[in-house]
Amino acid sequence: MNSITHTMARFALGLQYEDIPADAVHEAKRFLLDSVGCALAAVPNEDMQAAHRYIVALGGTPEATVIGSGHRTNIANGALMNALLVRALDYNDIYWEQDPSHPSDV
């Protein structure tokens, strides 16, 4: 089977850090720092506090850390909570030149 998913997976598995252009690494780091900053700014938000209480109540194996709290939960709940934090204030990155999207959503 040669689906787009398999093609992308093969590419990702074969990719070496050294193969990534320096400017792409620089931009990826900027996007990551921007996302963490957005998440940290959202921590005191009332809605995010409510979501965090729910995630804590769900419990789970401590596999992932919720940004800004130190709380650890399972991977799915950690990914959900961190994604909510990144998007909560809607200040996350955008890439107008190529596509008006938010690379950090990935």
| Arithmetic mean of pLDDT, 32-41 | 92
Q: Which residue has the higher pLDDT, 44 or 97?
A: 44
Structural domain that includes position 56: 32-105
Q: What is the mean pLDDT of the chain?
A: 89
- Please, is 96 exposed, middle or buried when counting C-beta atoms within 10 Å of its C-beta (0-12, 13-18, 19+)? exposed
Instruction: Tally the domains of the chain.
Output: 1
Q: How far is CA 60 from CA 29, 66, 71, 75, 104, in A?
A: 30, 13, 11, 9, 25
Q: What is the pLDDT of residue 106?
A: 57
Here the tokens at position 43 are 């921590």
Residue 11 lies in a domain: no
Residue 54 lies in a domain: yes
What share of the chain has pLDDT > 70, as a percent? 85
Residue 67 lies in a domain: yes
* 99 three-class SS: strand
Split at pLDDT 50, 70, 90, the class of 82 is very high
Residue 6 lies in a domain: no
